[in-house]
Structure 1
């Protein structure tokens, strides 16, 4: 396998396509009219990837859409081959089946992935509990994250604390969205009564909270390399 692309290079490789870089994967969504059409989309994607399908492609079929993701197995990040496969799948679905991909931002259900972040003083000790209680496994490619082996539930990751903070929540959500979706999502949260806690790390992430202080980070790939 070729070396993983940097985040800017990976995003640039699919910038003019319906695919977006989220949490080390290239993701896209195809609206469908039923499971039969969803099966056709899945088959077209597998055929487009040919011998690389098993090692790169993940497909989630629903009656109203098909979610597609490209990432080499066992690697956190995408390669030039994944960007190439994204183009092949797009052509197979758009030209071969005559179906349109969903816009990656500004739609009722844009592409997005959820992580749950847990603040910890002793990550090793805390991590072992969460690994046991969830039945998760170590994330591929190193790091302290834990992932659902069925790839259905959110990833857990652990953030090192410098000192205990008893008067704030120690678990928060990280919602990774397309970089061109982030501004609208943040504004929608603020319009709904939310508070901007910090934009010091923007555009990597913005910290938002509800009126009672429960936090969520809106994250993108940007400004992380």
Structure 2
């Protein structure tokens, strides 16, 4: 039996980073806990001061299949390269023609750049685009493959 898991991203502005990743992964804001109509009503009920409402955010797969992702406010900025990152697999795999893979990677990268990402590095193999190393709005690494 496998272990159920989720992922948490430390960040300085959970709302901004969660908004980017909702676009990147096509995820949605997680539902509030049972018994509450909204996250705002839950926060009020729990007595959380309004200036702490952006201390976290949570996204979920709209189909309910893939792991959820949380975003947690931390005081320190990112300072080194991530040791763990997501690969957004959009190209269809290396069995597809190189031109087709490159087109899919570049189209996805443009969509993500519009959402606030930046390209860090273009990785090629034998002169053919293999993947793009990118960063989200707070500099967290991910690849478009």
Same fold, TM-score > 0.5, yes or no: no
TM-score (norm 2): 0.38
Larger relative contact order, structure 1 or 2 (CA cutoff 8 Å, min sep 6): 2
- Structure 1 or 2, whichever has the larger Rg, is 1
